[in-house]
């Protein structure tokens, strides 16, 4: 369809409808913000949660699911269809959805983190529009313009293609005061969930035990494997890199969540870094205690954690802090990951988490092409200094489009451009399996297993014996790693149980 020439598309006059599609995410915060804003602007929003998230065995979409989706969209007769393209990891599914919906003739609009960084890829693949960065205001403006047959070419943040030329309007219509966006739709009014060839009506979030919330947008750090720094570089001059909501706004969302999600047990704060503005945490603790009173977990950073902050949060329900250490080698952290915290910073943060009495889960990215065996050994000996108990979340390195580490790998000749593209845009099953499984040398495997096992104190006596030369104990180490896997599963169940007990105690 040529949208440039064909402005007078016939849309329903009374109840304009917008369709939003979230991929592999039943909670999709960004889409919920868009739904709330579009509704306030007078649109009926039909939100489709397309497929469930599964980081271990992700499933590509099927022809039946595509048919179900096509049927929903055709029936809704929307002014536009918004596709939330947060990650490159499921692009295959996004493209199949675009191919399935294009013949219906409704304008396809993409937004989200990936779309913001790579608008032309989606436009060239069939999207009619891309909206970069915050979608609330631009999406409403575009929907209104399309509905009224008005010109949309001047709209900030809008990208489209004219012939072979991609037009990208500068990012704008971005609020510094993000409270003004309102709260996201906790219950999407007219929602459905498509998964395993079945369409289920209603918002799948309503049955959740864990509610996901974000109290701020953006991150001040520059990690080379993360898109946040490049998303920040795209913001207009003067726009704050981190924008924090007021405590009132966060609490009002959580009150709504408590009211609507009847099975709620705990809250996940998914801020890149939990807010620590002066006075914010104090006010948050007071109001959280009074109105919400549920166990919660946060993400944080070694340079943002203090015993005082954690103790305050623990007093009102904090149970777990998830923090990136990423490597025990300062070289890898600085030169490869662009993380500038010292060994001491990390140890202090880990100890503060322990002292505050909350559970610490520490992320490591291991066995990537920048890492030497000495770096891996350093990680093992570094982790030995962590006070127990704690949990290690060991991952591989996923090269993601839009991250600085991709250019580093190319500059260092680790991959050719073609090889890198094959990694970045591999089918989702391959990308997720690269996250968990890697082909590595026996020595690397041995040190990895040493590190994996160290988090379980009953295994440490053996590990101390083996650490002179783990390669000579590979069979025993493999058995030990299996045992660590079992202990990890038991710990998972124990942790969940602790949260439920805490929830009951807080009633
Ligand atoms: C929180 C978060 C999560 C949470 C999501 C919680 C939830 N309930 O939604 C969890 C932990 C579940 C998660 C999972 C994953 N995530 Co994540 N996540 C983030 C993070 C830190 C913030 C996203 C967020 O919620 N922001 C706040 C909301 C309000 O903003 P938003 O989602 O961006 O939406 C706004 C705009 O983007 C836009 N928008 C969004 N959709 C649409 C659609 C249309 C049509 C329009 C017009 C606009 C629009 O408008 C929204 C409102 O302003 C981002 C980093 C970042 N800065 O974006 C990474 C990020 C998006 N995640 C990333 C990744 C890789 C993943 C996973 C694949 C990880 C994994 N290996 O399993 C999964 C995929 C999940 C999925 N199906 O999308 C990458 C994607 C990079 C890439 N090239 O792929 C990012 C950029 C982080 C990074 N590593 O660089 N994630
Ligand atoms: S601290 Fe986390 S969110 Fe911030 S840039 Fe680093 S990885 Fe990304």
Nearest Cα residue to atom 65 of ligand 1: 87
Q: What are phi and psi of 210, to 5 degrees?
A: -125, 125
Q: Strands 17-23, 44-50: parallel, antiparallel or unpaired by DSSP?
A: parallel
H/E segment holding residue 46: strand 44-50
Which residue would you say has higher pLDDT here, 276 or 212? 212
Look up residue 207 and give its DSSP letter: G
Sheet of 210-213, strand order: 210-213, 266-269, 296-300, 318-326, 359-365, 391-395
pLDDT band at 56 (very low <50, low <70, confident <90, very high): confident
**CA 290 to centroid of ligand 2, rounded, Å:** 31
Largest Cα separation within the chain, whole Å, is 77
Q: What is the pLDDT of residue 470?
A: 96
Domains of the chain: residue spans and CATH: 17-190 (3.40.50.280), 208-397+439-506 (3.80.30.20)
Handedness of CA 421, 411, 368, 415 (dihedral sign): positive
Q: What is the pLDDT of residues 252-262, one digit of tens each?
A: 999 999 999 99
User: Which tokens is 191 given?
Assistant: 């929602």
Nearest Cα residue to atom 4 of ligand 1: 270
Q: What are phi and psi of 357, to 5 degrees?
A: 80, 25
Q: What is the pLDDT of residue 4?
A: 36
Of ligand 2's listed atoms, the one at least distance from the Cα of 229 is 5
Determine the Cα–Cα distance for residues 362 and 358; give it in Å rounded to an integer.
13
Q: What is the pLDDT of residues 348-373, one digit of tens each?
A: 999 999 999 999 999 999 999 999 99
- How much is the average pLDDT of 100-107? 97
pLDDT band at 3 (very low <50, low <70, confident <90, very high): very low
Q: Which of 381, 401, 383, 404 is nearest to 392 (CA)?
A: 383
Pocket around ligand 1: residues whose beta carbon is below 6 Å from it?
23-25, 27-31, 33-34, 53, 55, 82-84, 86-89, 109-114, 131, 134-136, 139, 212, 214, 217, 226-228, 231, 270, 272, 400-402, 435
Q: What is the pLDDT of residues 68-89, one digit of tens each?
A: 999 999 999 999 999 999 999 9
**CA 29 to centroid of ligand 1, rounded, Å:** 8
Determine the Cα–Cα distance for residues 436 and 294; give it in Å rounded to an integer.
32
pLDDT of residue 26 exceeding 90:
yes
Contact 183, 177 (CB under 8 A): no
Q: What's the burial of 310, exposed, middle or buried (CB within 10 Å: 0-12/13-18/19+)? A: buried
CA 142 from centroid of its chain's CA atoms:
26
Determine the Cα–Cα distance for residues 489 and 411; give it in Å rounded to an integer.
40
Average pLDDT, the chain: 94
**CA 478 to centroid of ligand 2, rounded, Å:** 33
Q: Which of 90, 89, 133, 88 is nearest to 112 (CA)?
A: 133
H/E segment holding residue 460: helix 460-466
Q: Percent of the chain scored above 90 by pLDDT?
A: 90
Q: What is the pLDDT of residue 434?
A: 67
**CA 85 to centroid of ligand 1, rounded, Å:** 8
Q: What is the pLDDT of residue 418?
A: 96
| SS3 readout for 267-303 | EEECCCCCCCCCCHHHHHHHHHHHHHCCCEEEEECHH
The ligand placed nearest to the CA atom of residue 226 is 1
Q: What is the pLDDT of residues 422-462, one digit of tens each?
A: 999 998 888 877 665 567 899 999 999 999 999 999 999 99
Contact 181, 238 (CB under 8 A): no
Q: Is the CB of 299 under 6 A from ligand 2?
A: no
HSE-up (13 A, CA, CB side) for residue 175: 13
Q: Backbone dihedral region of 197: left (phi > 0), alpha (psi from -120 to 50 degrees) or beta?
A: left
Q: Is the CB of 231 under 6 A from ligand 2?
A: no
Q: What is the pLDDT of residues 299-319, one digit of tens each?
A: 999 999 999 999 999 999 999
Q: What is the pLDDT of residues 448-499, one digit of tens each?
A: 999 999 999 999 999 999 999 999 999 999 999 999 999 999 999 999 998 8
Task: Report pTM.
Answer: 0.95
pLDDT band at 13 (very low <50, low <70, confident <90, very high): low
pLDDT band at 15 (very low <50, low <70, confident <90, very high): confident
Nearest Cα residue to atom 51 of ligand 1: 30
Of ligand 1's listed atoms, the one at least distance from the Cα of 24 is 77
Q: What are phi and psi of 395, to 5 degrees?
A: -125, 165
Q: Is the CB of 341 under 6 A from ligand 2?
A: no
Q: What are phi and psi of 64, to 5 degrees?
A: -65, -40
pLDDT of residue 7 exceeding 50:
no
Q: What is the pLDDT of residue 101?
A: 98
**CA 112 to centroid of ligand 1, rounded, Å:** 7
Across 287-382, where does the E strand assignment appear?
Answer: 296-300, 318-326, 359-365
* Spatial CB neighbours of 321, under 8 Å, sequence gap ≥ 6: 297, 298, 299, 300, 305, 310, 353, 358, 359, 360, 361
**CA 38 to centroid of ligand 1, rounded, Å:** 20
**CA 89 to centroid of ligand 1, rounded, Å:** 11
The ligand placed nearest to the CA atom of residue 30 is 1
- How much is the average pLDDT of 2-10? 41
Q: Is the CB of 128 under 6 A from ligand 2?
A: no
pLDDT of residue 11 exceeding 60:
no
Other C-beta atoms within 10 Å of 155: how many?
Answer: 21
Determine the Cα–Cα distance for residues 441 and 17; give it in Å rounded to an integer.
56
Q: What is the pLDDT of residue 438?
A: 63
Contact 108, 129 (CB under 8 A): yes
H/E segment holding residue 190: strand 190-195
The ligand placed nearest to the CA atom of residue 141 is 1
Q: Which of 11-20, 187-196, 217-226, 327-336 has the lowest average pLDDT?
A: 11-20
**CA 60 to centroid of ligand 1, rounded, Å:** 19
Residue corresponding to tokens 């913000």 = 33
Determine the Cα–Cα distance for residues 94 and 112; give it in Å rounded to an integer.
12
């Amino acid at each position: 369809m040529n949208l440039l020439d064909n402005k007078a598309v016939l849309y329903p006059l009374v109840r304009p409808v917008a369709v939003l599609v979230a991929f592999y995410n039943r909670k999709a915060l960004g889409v919920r913000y868009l739904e709330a804003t579009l509704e306030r602007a007078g649109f009926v929003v039909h939100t489709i949660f397309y497929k469930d998230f599964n980081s271990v065995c992700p499933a590509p979409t099927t022809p039946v699911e595509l048919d179900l989706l096509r049927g929903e969209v055709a029936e809704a007769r929307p002014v536009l269809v918004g596709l939330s393209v947060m990650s490159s990891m499921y692009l295959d599914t996004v493209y199949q959805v675009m191919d399935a919906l294009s013949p219906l003739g409704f304008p396809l609009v993409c937004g989200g983190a990936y779309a913001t960084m790579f608008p032309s890829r989606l436009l060239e693949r069939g999207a009619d529009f891309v909206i970069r960065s915050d979608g609330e205001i631009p999406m409403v403006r575009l929907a209104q313009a399309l509905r009224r047959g008005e010109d949309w070419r001047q709209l900030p943040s809008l990208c489209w293609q004219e012939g072979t030329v991609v037009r990208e309007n500068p990012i704008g219509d971005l609020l510094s005061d993000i409270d003004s966006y309102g709260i996201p739709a906790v219950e999407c009014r007219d929602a459905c969930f498509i998964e395993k060839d079945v369409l289920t009506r209603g918002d799948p979030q309503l049955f959740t035990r864990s509610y996901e919330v974000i109290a701020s947008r953006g991150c001040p750090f520059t990690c080379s494997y993360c898109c946040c720094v490049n998303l920040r570089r795209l913001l207009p001059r003067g726009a704050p890199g981190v924008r924090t909501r007021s405590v009132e706004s966060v609490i009002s969302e959580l009150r709504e969540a408590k009211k609507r999600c009847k099975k709620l047990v705990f809250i996940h704060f998914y801020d890149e870094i939990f807010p620590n503005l002066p006075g914010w945490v104090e006010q948050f603790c007071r109001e959280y205690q009074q109105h919400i009173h549920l166990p919660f977990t946060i993400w944080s950073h070694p340079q943002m954690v203090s015993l005082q902050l954690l103790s305050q949060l623990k007093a009102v329900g904090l149970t777990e802090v998830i923090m990136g250490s990423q490597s025990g080698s300062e070289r890898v952290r600085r030169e490869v990951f662009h993380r500038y915290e010292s060994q001491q910073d990390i140890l202090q943060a880990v100890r503060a988490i322990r002292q505050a009495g909350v559970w610490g889960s520490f992320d490591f990215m291991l066995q990537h092409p920048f890492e030497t065996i000495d770096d891996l050994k350093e990680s093992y000996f570094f982790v030995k200094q962590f006070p127990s108990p704690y949990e290690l979340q060991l991952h591989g390195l996923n090269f993601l489009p839009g991250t600085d580490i991709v250019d580093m790998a190319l500059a260092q000749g680790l991959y050719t451009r073609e090889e890198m593209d094959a990694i970045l845009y591999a089918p989702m099953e391959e990308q997720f399996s690269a996250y968990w499984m890697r082909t590595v040398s026996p020595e690397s495997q041995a040190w990895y297993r040493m590190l994996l096992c160290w988090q379980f104190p009953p295994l440490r006596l053996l590990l101390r014996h083996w650490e002179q030369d783990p390669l000579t104990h590979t069979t025993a180490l493999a058995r030990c790693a299996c045992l660590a896997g079992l202990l990890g599963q038991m710990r998972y169940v124990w942790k969940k149980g602790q949260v439920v007990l805490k929830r009951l105690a807080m009633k």
